[in-house]
Amino acid sequence: MSGIVYLVGAGPGDPGLITVKALRLLQRADVVVYDRLANPELLAEARSGAELIDAGKAPGDQRLTQDETNALLVELGKQGKTVVRLKGGDPFVFGRGGEEALALAEAGVPFEVVPGVTSAVAVPAHAGIPVTHRGASTSVAFVTGNEDPTKEESQVNWKALATAAETLVVLMGLGNLPQIAEELNIGGLPLDCPVALIQQGAGPKQRTVVGNLGNIADLAHSEGLKPPVIAVFGNVVKLRERIAWYDTRPLFGKRVLVTRTRQQASTLAEQLAERGAEAIELPSIAIQAIQNNNSLEEAFSDLSSYHWLVFTSTNGVDIFFDHLRSSGMDTRSLAGVRVCAIGPATASAISAHGIVADLVPERFVSEALVEALAQKGIKDKNILVARAEAGREELRHGLEAAGANVNDIALYRTVIPSESQGRARDVFDAGVDIVTFASSSTVRNLIELLGGDISLLKTATVACIGPVTAATARDMGLTVHVEAQEYTIPGLVQALIDHLESGGG
């Protein structure tokens, strides 16, 4: 029985530019055959157990020839597999998708084409260059530059293209740029025609060099540009000065290490990426619920006796309610119990379980929480604190000093995730500009992952979510450059932006 092959455009650079249909197919494919221009982050979307095959083709480095790729797709289809052929940009815009479709059609293997966002349009857009613009360009030509324009059998008539369209977008032409520029000039394109070269477009390493037809080949050499590069010729290039947006974002070009748990990292990573950073996820902690938690079971047996239930983290919230449900109980068991959250993120986690926090202190630290509860009158009141095993003792001591009867129960412990073992040094060897810490545990565990070698952190900007985390970092010998004034993830991101905009490294 024959399977089906989907020729899928992954879009350029930014994995968020993949289409909804393409993502859905990727998530259910048996086999993914991908090339080097498809963002590797997308491979994480493949289902567990899917076979991943690298068919990447780069100058001087071919995993599979095109004929071998065609034959592979046919073979997989005939095996009854659901195959996604994941190609950068659009499969039918210089992606050789037509050749693969012909091979499949001739072999009688069912296939579909899923168009993608082509780099020919998206990459210039990310450089602030529209390929058409009223008053500047009403026509555009897309051309491959991956052949010798001086050879007799060249299919590209550069002289004719020089005046055929007001905007010329050349893909894969960096190696032939001197000859292309010469041929275009001979064809009538003036030497002062604006030209932009965009390297690794629509990604965190995007780089744009602007010149003119007369000097662009020399600029490409002196700036050390490497493929992939897209060249844009025409007056639309001038618009970049006014509407550049992608590479002018406040964190653009910064490699930022995210040390939160795998489950929590995406929130910070997304906010960093939205502001231009390249977020590198290296979880230094994982959450491990304490099993056979007799103290918690005892508390559940008499929840109505507590006046306050205090949560100090989102992790504690989720584990508490998981235990509650597994004990055959639900939120009705908390009727009459007031709930306190240490901060807005924790309050939001509580809300997800159908409960609105009665109290959130203005400052999101234990001392402020004690002060806020004390103002509510907690003398002789029973308080249940749900926290991490290595949580700070200041909370319990402060509540007891205010006269409360405190039942302090550890719900979980933080451990070093096995997936991060051995990765830390490789991450730092590749370069890290900023390290973010969202808890004291992330500080201690990252340093342990580095074998205690804090010298690797000396060249990075260290950013902490608040004073407690910052104090731990300093105690471990680190210099803290950024300390958020609002102890939240948005507060941490804004503190980083403020630091950089004020001239910080």
Q: Residue 152: pLDDT above 70?
A: no
pLDDT (mean) for 199-204: 94
Q: What pLDDT does residue 93 have?
A: 95
CA atoms within a 13 Å half-sphere pointing along the CA-CB vector of 8: 30
- Domain spans of the chain, in order of start: 4-116, 121-247, 255-285+418-501, 288-415
Overall CATH class of domain 255-285+418-501: alpha beta
pLDDT (mean) for 244-259: 96
Least confident range of 34-43, 233-242, 334-343: 34-43
E strand spans, 189-249? 194-199, 207-212, 229-233
* CATH superfamily of domain region 121-247: Tetrapyrrole methylase, C-terminal domain (3.30.950.10)
Q: Which of the pair, 365 or 7, is modelled with greater confidence?
A: 7
Q: What pLDDT does residue 58 have?
A: 55
Instruction: For residues 215 and 220, give the distance between their C-alpha atoms in angstroms, rounded to a whole number.
Output: 9
CA atoms within a 13 Å half-sphere pointing along the CA-CB vector of 447: 19
Buried/exposed 289-326: b ≥16 CB within 10 Å, e otherwise: ebeebeebeebbeebeebbbbbbbbbbbbbbbbebbee
Position 94, amino acid: F
In this structure, what DSSP letter does residue 160 have? H
pLDDT bracket for residue 422 (50, 70, 90): confident
Q: What is the mean pLDDT of the chain?
A: 93
- Of 416, 419, 381, 421, the C-alpha closest to 399 is 381
Instruction: For residues 20 and 183, give the distance between their C-alpha atoms in angstroms, rounded to a whole number.
Output: 41
Position 499, amino acid: H
Which residue out of 57, 159, 238, 376 is catalytically annotated?
57
Extract the tokens encoding 478: 């680190």
Q: What pLDDT does residue 281 have?
A: 93
Q: Which of the pair, 419 or 235, is modelled with greater confidence?
A: 235
Which residue out of 172, 254, 381, 433 is catalytically annotated?
172
Extract the tokens encoding 436: 């973010």
**Residue 35 annotated among the catalytic residues of the structure:** yes
pLDDT bracket for residue 413 (50, 70, 90): very high
In this structure, what DSSP letter does residue 419 have? G
Q: Residue 481: pLDDT above 80?
A: yes
Q: Residue 437: pLDDT above 90?
A: yes
Q: Residue 387: pLDDT above 80?
A: yes
Assess contact for 311 and 340: CB atoms under 8 A.
yes
**Residue 429 annotated among the catalytic residues of the structure:** no
Pairing of strands 194-199, 229-233: antiparallel
Q: What pLDDT does residue 254 have?
A: 96
Instruction: For residues 87 and 76, give the distance between their C-alpha atoms in angstroms, rounded to a whole number.
Output: 17
Q: What pLDDT does residue 62 have?
A: 62
Q: Which CATH architecture has domain 288-415?
A: 3-Layer(aba) Sandwich (3.40)
Place of tokens 């001038």: 238
Buried/exposed 382-395: b ≥16 CB within 10 Å, e otherwise: bbbbbbbeebbeeb
pLDDT (mean) for 170-199: 97
Which fold is adopted by the domain 4-116? Cobalt-precorrin-4 Transmethylase; domain 1 (3.40.1010)
Residue 338 CA, distance from chain mean position: 38
Asked if the domains at 4-116 and 255-285+418-501 fall in one CATH topology, the answer is no
Q: What percent of the chain has pLDDT over 70?
A: 97
Instruction: For residues 229 and 206, give the distance between their C-alpha atoms in angstroms, rounded to a whole number.
Output: 10
Which residue out of 35, 90, 318, 408 is catalytically annotated?
35
pLDDT bracket for residue 390 (50, 70, 90): confident
Q: Which of the pair, 144 or 263, is modelled with greater confidence?
A: 144
pLDDT bracket for residue 36 (50, 70, 90): confident
**Residue 172 annotated among the catalytic residues of the structure:** yes
Position 305, amino acid: S
pLDDT per position as a tens digit, 344-354: 999 999 999 99
Extract the tokens encoding 89: 């940009």
Q: Residue 497: pLDDT above 60?
A: yes
Pairing of strands 31-34, 51-54: parallel
pLDDT (mean) for 171-196: 97
In this structure, what DSSP letter does residue 334 have? G
Q: What pLDDT does residue 271 have?
A: 95
Extract the tokens encoding 403: 């006269």
Q: Residue 448: pLDDT above 80?
A: yes
Instruction: For residues 476 and 453, give the distance between their C-alpha atoms in angstroms, rounded to a whole number.
Output: 11
Q: Residue 105: pLDDT above 90?
A: yes
Extract the tokens encoding 311: 């949560």
Assess contact for 206 and 229: CB atoms under 8 A.
no
